[in-house]
Amino acid sequence: MKRRKFWEKGAEGVLLACALLSVLAVILITVFLFARGLPLFAKVPLTEFLFSSRWEPTAEEPHFGILAFISGSVVVTGLALLIALPTGLAVGIYLAELSGKRTSRAIRSAVELLAGIPSVIYGLFGIALVSTASRAIFGGSGYGLGSAAIVLAIMTLPTIVNVTEVSLRAVPRELKEGSLALGATQWQTIVRVQVPAARSGIIAGAVLGMGRAIGETMAVLMVGGNAPIMPKGLDGMIRTLTMNIITDMSYARDDHLTSLFTTGIALFVFILALNITVQAALKRSLAGTEGAALG
């Protein structure tokens, strides 16, 4: 018994150490990022940094405005979600409620494969196919907002599909059976009962997909055009926050380098807000599911 308790205490200690290590990593990243980025505001006002689109870090009178990059990130992420959300929702509904075992196994394997493909492969796919199609449809070079949005939509599909399927399967079976017993068709039950009951989880999946899209760098860098200007149409080139950091990091010095860490702070705060939103949505989803089960 003493030996068993000793090993149990040892296992608890190891698990606690791992948990604390994760927390410590987050704290260190946060402290490092803010320590390197905040000094910029001693020279550049916060309003100019956030609401100016002039990015001229190497000029005689440098300007550090990231509004164009914020706009590029928001617009390309929004367009990607407009494509990925209805598609992912449809696939998730099909896997959870309509597909057979063999079909669901094949589709689920394909979705899992999409989730595991490196982003650079998505970028190569975008260069070879998406940019060519974009050039034929929208004109221009083919490298711009439209191509980046399509590639990001494909990349975010696995997250939305998986969360949608899990959320629908978590809906109490009694709700589905009660709807069918009242004479509703299977499709009516899905649309009017199951999807509304799982909406918090679906929203959480959409927000997680948004976080994946806004944090993506390599694939967007390869097909987005990487021009530090405001987005102008589907064929217009863009630069996102992550693209700006990776593009300038190799040669940035002094205030220019500091401004890249400050850009990282802006991205960090945005992702943190998304994570808080996800947690709140998940809590509401769990509360709604428990309430429906008790009812």
- The Cα 156–Cα 189 span in angstroms is 27
Q: What are phi and psi of 100, to 5 degrees?
A: -85, 175
Q: Are residues 65 and 199 in the same domain?
A: yes
Give the chain's domain count. 2
Q: What is the DSSP string of the chain?
A: -HHHHHHHHHHHHHHHHHHHHHHHHHHHHHHHHHHHHGGGGGTS-HHHHHH---EETTSSS-EE--HHHHHHHHHHHHHHHHHHHHHHHHHHHIIIII--HHHHHHHHHHHHHHHHS-HHHHHHHIIIIIHHHHHHHH-TTS-SHHHHHHHHHHHHHHHHHHHHHHHHHTS-HHHHHHHHHTT--HHHHIIIIIHHHTHHHHHHHHHHHHHHHHH--HHHHHHSB--SS---STTS-B--HHHHHHHHTTT--HHHHHHHHHHHHHHHHHHHHHHHHHHHHHHHHHHHHHHHHH-
Q: Are residues 33 and 138 in the same domain?
A: no
Q: Are residues 194 and 123 in the same domain?
A: yes
Query: Does residue 49 lie within any of the structural domains?
Result: no
Q: What are phi and psi of 230, to 5 degrees?
A: -70, 145
Q: Spell 24-58 as b/e; 16+ CB within 10 A means b.
A: eeeeeeeeebeebbeebeeebeeeebeebeebebe
pLDDT tens, position by position, 2-30: 777 778 888 888 898 988 998 999 899 99
- The Cα 236–Cα 170 span in angstroms is 42
pLDDT tens, position by position, 47-93: 999 998 899 888 888 889 999 999 999 999 999 999 999 999 999 99
Q: Are residues 27 and 137 in the same domain?
A: no
Give the per-residue pLDDT at 59.
85
Q: Are residues 205 and 242 in the same domain?
A: yes
Q: Are residues 165 and 33 in the same domain?
A: no
Instruction: Report residues of the chain scoring pLDDT below 70.
Output: 1, 281-282, 284-295
Give the per-residue pLDDT at 286.
59
Which of 214, 203, 201, 267 is CA-nearest to residue 78? 214
Q: Are residues 230 and 272 in the same domain?
A: yes
Query: Does residue 235 lie within any of the structural domains?
Result: yes
Q: Are residues 279 and 143 in the same domain?
A: yes
Q: What sign results for the dihedral spanned by CA atoms 90, 96, 97, 99?
A: positive
Residues 6+ apart with CB under 8 A from 119: 155, 216, 217, 218, 219
Q: Are residues 95 and 206 in the same domain?
A: yes
Give the per-residue pLDDT at 102.
86
Q: Indicate the residue type of 240.
A: T
Q: Indicate the residue type of 9.
A: K
Query: Does residue 172 lie within any of the structural domains?
Result: yes
Q: What are phi and psi of 229, to 5 degrees?
A: -130, 165
Neighbours of 23 (CB within 10 A): 9
Give the per-residue pLDDT at 294.
47
Residue 133 sits in which domain range?
Answer: 55-294
